[in-house]
């Protein structure tokens, strides 16, 4: 409780406030950006494994397409990561 009281009592300068807000939103930026691609890549790889198990002779083709799909899906998460870096450090 004492620590919280001290935090409330401390006066934050505008620059500090801005830094705090940037740090917090940097976390949200990456966390939120990772949800969609996470689900997408999981679904994509799961389905590809299913396809490869059903038709092992098509495994090469499925794998190439899988990597392409991963590359496109992953780009969204990576843009989130770049936003994180920009907010946190720039």
Partner 1 sequence: MIALDFPEINSILVWKDIFPNFPFNKVALIAVLATLISATIFLLAVRQSHKEAPKGIRNFAEMIVEFVEDGIVMQTMGKDGLAWTPFLLTMFMFIYLCNVPGIIPFFQMPATARMAVPMFLALMVWVIYNVTGIKHQGVGGYLKSTLFPPGVPKALYILVTPIEFISAIIVRPFSLAVRLFANMMAGHILLVTFALLSEALFQAKDKVLIPVGILPFFMLVFLTSFEVLVAFLQAYIFAMLTAVYIGGATHPEH
Binding stretches for partner 1 (CB under 8 A): 60-61, 64, 67-68, 70-72, 74-75, 78-79, 81-82, 85, 88-89
CB of 76 to partner 1, least distance (A): 9
CB-based burial label for 70 (10 Å; 0-12, 13-18, 19+): middle
21 or 79, CB closer to partner 1?
79
CB of 64 to partner 1, least distance (A): 4
Listed in sequence order, the residues at least 6 apart from 81 whose beta carbon sits closer than 8 Å to its beta carbon are 30, 33
CB of 20 to partner 1, least distance (A): 16
- Give the C-alpha separation, 32 to 48, whole Å: 25
């Amino acid at each position: 409780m004492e620590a919280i009281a001290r935090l409330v009592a401390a006066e934050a300068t505008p620059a500090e406030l801005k830094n705090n807000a940037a740090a917090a939103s940097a976390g949200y930026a990456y966390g939120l950006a990772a949800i969609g691609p996470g689900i997408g890549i999981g679904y994509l790889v799961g389905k590809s494994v299913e396809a490869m198990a059903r038709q092992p002779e098509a495994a090469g083709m499925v794998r190439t397409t899988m990597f392409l799909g991963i590359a496109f899906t992953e780009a969204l998460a990576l843009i989130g990561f770049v936003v994180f870096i920009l907010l946190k450090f720039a």
